Amino acid sequence: MLQLHKLERYKDDQGNEIVYDGEIREDKIDIRFKGSNNTLVISPEADIRDLLITFTGNDGKIEIGPTTKKRAGLRFELRCGHESRIWIGENVGCAGRTFISAVEGVSVTIGDDVMFAKNIEVRGDDTHPIFDVRTEKRMNPSQSIVVGEHVWIAKHAVVMGGVTIGNGSVIGFRSIVTSNIPNNVVAVGAPARVVRKNIAWERPEVVPRRPNEQYPRKGEKSPKYWNLTDESAVPEKPVVVRQQSGTGARRLARRLPAPVKRAVRKLMPSR
């Protein structure tokens, strides 16, 4: 295993590569390559505060977008397996380190302007296999995840594989998301269930505000994400991508459902 503690442009004879042209960072950086032909692409504008990345196989790719607005910074533990992909969009913020795992050829897509609280997990796998003892078939294959734009995920929440979360939604404290969540809703519980529809949320904190102060203040509203809930826009079935032979982002993309393709296409760099 190769372990790096500096964020800078890098390439080795195993085909592992870091594409990064920003300021060199050495504080809280831990990047590990256990395989070959893995690629880490980080925008020079990304506000990296705490980064632990492990490529556990071959042909994995992670991309982290820029931070152009005031955010809490990027604090991630990322695990990327064989032929797997993690895309993190623009202006994402993390109050604490968020764990994201994509292995066995699946993808995890995090949309623009997502707000992560502390101690959150977004995992396309269960780490260990579970079998049906009668058939010996595996019951918990890894599955892809899409978290839409402007989603707020509260403390200690977990997002499981096969899930799509629509734009503008809120996932409550200690919730476990096991099924698709539509846009502009509040979902809470274990498993998470929608308890309120047609909602919108904004980033400015209520902590310093006076009692009965009017919301939102001028300039605080983000109209792009003030939408009515459309449950028909979320796929009825979970996103499932099982490991297959072959490499390359295009080959992986052909196996993804349409909602995942659209999200991934937006976040992928132009060539």
Please name the helix (run of DSSP H) or strand (run of DSSP E) that holds residue 121, with its range, or none.
strand 120-123
Which residues, 6+ apart, have CB-to-CB distance to 48 below 8 Å?
7, 25, 29, 42, 64, 73, 74
- Give me the half-sphere count of Cα atoms (radius 13 Å) on the Cβ side of residue 150: 17
Q: Which amino acid is at 62?
A: I
The helix, strand and coil proportions of the chain, stated in percent and rounded to the nearest 5, come to 10, 30, 60
CA–CA separation, 83 and 104 (whole Å): 7
Cα–Cα distance, 171 to 155 (Å, whole number): 9
Give catalytic residue positions. 128
Q: Among residues 18, 11, 15, 81, which one has the least CA distance to residue 51?
A: 18
